[in-house]
Amino acid sequence: MPVSNHDYLRRILTARVYDVARESELDFAPNLSARLNNRLYLKREDNQPVFSFKLRGAYNKMAQLSKDQLARGVFAASAGNHAQGVALAARRLGTRAVIVMPVTTPEVKIDAVRAHGGAAVEVVLAGESYSDAYRAAIELGAARGLTLVHPFDDADVIAGQGTVAMEILRQHQGAIHAIFVPVGGGGLIAGIAAYVKAVRPEIRIIGVQTEDSDAMARSLDAGRRVELTEVGLFSDGTAVKLAGEETFRLCREHVDEILRVDTDALCAAIKDVFADTRSMLEPAGALAIAGAKQYAVRENLRNQTLVAIASGANLNFDRLRFVAERAEVGEARETLFAVTMPEERGSFRRFCGLLGTHSITEFNYRIGDPTHARLFVGIQTRNKDETATIVSAISAGGFEVLDLTHDELAKLHLRHMVGGRADLAHDELLYQFDFPERPGALARFLNALDPAWNISLFHYRNHGADYARILVGIQVPPQDRPAFTDFLARLGYTYRNESENPAYRLLLRAD
């Protein structure tokens, strides 16, 4: 039976979270507020003992279990923050927890789970994704008679997360226009929405998802739960293919809107929070801030009070390089172009003259054609409206220009590879693959590849994520294309055909 709205209010007010969690700060963000012309407050769940809100729901669920259930133990599947919450709760409640994590989980996260749980926790590695780990966990839990602690689709977990809203309304009793919440499976926003709409229904509850992990948004649009075939990798804390049944029901009833943001906007939000707090959020932790920024601009909002949940700070240090690269684009302070100009002396000088006061932030070039030079160029901007002005100036100067600011392939791979076209790379197909970041993944790919197909291009860069994105050029004669399609199906990795990408065709492909 669904839990009633009144019962959720009671569960949240009586939730047992403060044995392990703390009432996190509601911090004013002065720099962001000034830029947005609104008052933005950050609910600092990144300051929890496990650097995430997840311990609230995990502990509340486990604290409601019977003595017999605690004696038998619990199990969970997670790739990070939920696992740490369950581990800490298990140690505090004196029970045992089996936590199944994908084999792709970085060692730093596995070590954190063991550190929080100590002898109370058994870590089992299974599968290459959260979905694989969850299936393995269900089998293991049934075999051992353990109780599941679901990461989001459970009334007690939802109630535990709802205590975040209880604190916000106690900490700020004045007018609030909207509360922005990151959304994966929906546990946090379901709990916050259930509480706020029961107490202060005039406050808008706005969820935020990444464009490539928007299962809840698609489900609300369709009026039914929609399962994604694949999810984006950058915001791994919200990379959920299917929203929960109960969380979907609560979101349909109480959530006003779901916003979608891209990777660049997330990186910009991480930088923004660092400027205001000197704290570094994980991508999922910055989702709400990115959404608040987007909403304020879209609605031309002025002098309103906004609250964004800074939901977590479990960021791999290696990922900072990627965040720094993309933050300027996300803030519209850098725009990227492919420019074609005559291969003659003075062309570059003439190009720079067209830019006026704008500085060049990146310039990649290698000679490859006797008549035309093709360049990858980054140009500093003050806002997104300047991009069109720059394009017009370059075109008026007689140069061909292609805007790459929103071309993911160009930003992730091609900017590091500009070197002219290769006449030897005939019959080349270009594919982007998502590889699990673990030993043997590359060897598996190479062993599966027919030796008759030559690798003509390869780019990989570690960004500190569970998965790596790798760009591969493979020479496949037309008569071998059916066999190549079969190879892709057998491989088992997510892939995208980028052979017609305009930046690739301009900068690297030999036609």
**For the chain, which domains are there?**
5-53+155-327 (3.40.50.1100), 54-148 (3.40.50.1100), 332-406 (3.30.70.260), 428-507 (3.30.70.260)
The more confident residue out of 6 and 293 is: 293
Report pLDDT for 441: 65
Which of the following is catalytic: 311, 347, 411, 456? 311
| pLDDT at 437 > cutoff 70 | no
54 is catalytic: yes
Interval 238-290: pLDDT, tens = 888 899 999 999 999 999 999 999 988 999 999 999 999 999 999 999 999 99
Tell me the three-class secondary structure of 195-235, residue by residue: HHHHHCCCCEEEEEEECCCCHHHHHHHHCCCCCCCCCCCCC
State what percent of residues in the chain have pLDDT above 70. 94
What does the block give as tokens for 373? 């030079």
The more confident residue out of 456 and 197 is: 197
Give the alpha-carbon dihedral of 406, 408, 413, 416, to 10 degrees: 20
Interval 423-433: pLDDT, tens = 778 888 999 98
| DSSP assignment of 391-439 | HHHHHHTT-EEEE-TT-HHHHHTGGGT-----TT-TTEEEEEEEEESST
Report pLDDT for 462: 61
| pLDDT at 28 > cutoff 60 | yes
Rounded mean pLDDT, 123-152: 90
Closest CA to 70 of 50, 97, 43, 51: 97
What does the block give as tokens for 286? 């910055």
Q: Residue 186: left (phi > 0), alpha (psi -120 to 50), or beta?
A: left
Report pLDDT for 463: 59
Contact 365, 373 (CB under 8 A): yes
Please tell me which of 3-7, 423-427, 499-503 the model is most confident about, judged by mean pLDDT: 499-503
| pLDDT at 461 > cutoff 70 | no
Report pLDDT for 379: 87
| pLDDT at 8 > cutoff 70 | yes
Q: Is residue 201 exposed (0-12), middle (13-18) or buried (19+ Cβ within 10 Å)?
A: exposed
Report pLDDT for 467: 64
The more confident residue out of 437 and 245 is: 245
Report pLDDT for 442: 66
The more confident residue out of 211 and 425 is: 211
219 is catalytic: no
What average pLDDT is seen over the chain? 89
| pLDDT at 309 > cutoff 90 | yes
The more confident residue out of 134 and 451 is: 134
Which of the following is catalytic: 24, 43, 54, 411? 54
Report pLDDT for 489: 86
Contact 341, 76 (CB under 8 A): no
CA distance 162 to 156: 10
Rounded mean pLDDT, 441-453: 72
| pLDDT at 53 > cutoff 70 | yes
Least confident interval from 236-240, 453-457, 467-471 = 467-471
Closest CA to 367 of 420, 331, 416, 423: 420
Give the position of tokens 């394009």. 391
What does the block give as tokens for 357? 């006061």
| pLDDT at 106 > cutoff 70 | no
| pLDDT at 439 > cutoff 70 | no
Rounded mean pLDDT, 18-40: 97
> Strand pairing of 257-261 and 204-210?
parallel
The more confident residue out of 511 and 284 is: 284
CA distance 104 to 180: 30
DSSP state for residue 477 in the 8-state scheme: -
| pLDDT at 157 > cutoff 90 | yes
pTM of the model: 0.79
Report pLDDT for 330: 67
| pLDDT at 466 > cutoff 80 | no
Q: If pLDDT is split at 50, 70 and 90, which confidence band does 200 have?
A: very high
Interval 310-364: pLDDT, tens = 999 988 777 787 788 777 766 767 888 989 888 887 787 788 888 888 888 777 7
Going from the C-alpha of 432 to that of each of 126, 285, 358, 461, 496, the distances in angstroms are 25, 27, 33, 13, 5
Report pLDDT for 510: 67
Scored b (16 or more CB within 10 A) or e, 124-140 reads: eebbbbbbbbbebbeeb
Give SS3 for 306. Answer: strand
Contact 43, 307 (CB under 8 A): yes
| pLDDT at 137 > cutoff 80 | yes
Report pLDDT for 472: 85
Report pLDDT for 233: 72
State what percent of residues in the chain have pLDDT above 90. 56
Give SS3 for 367. Answer: coil
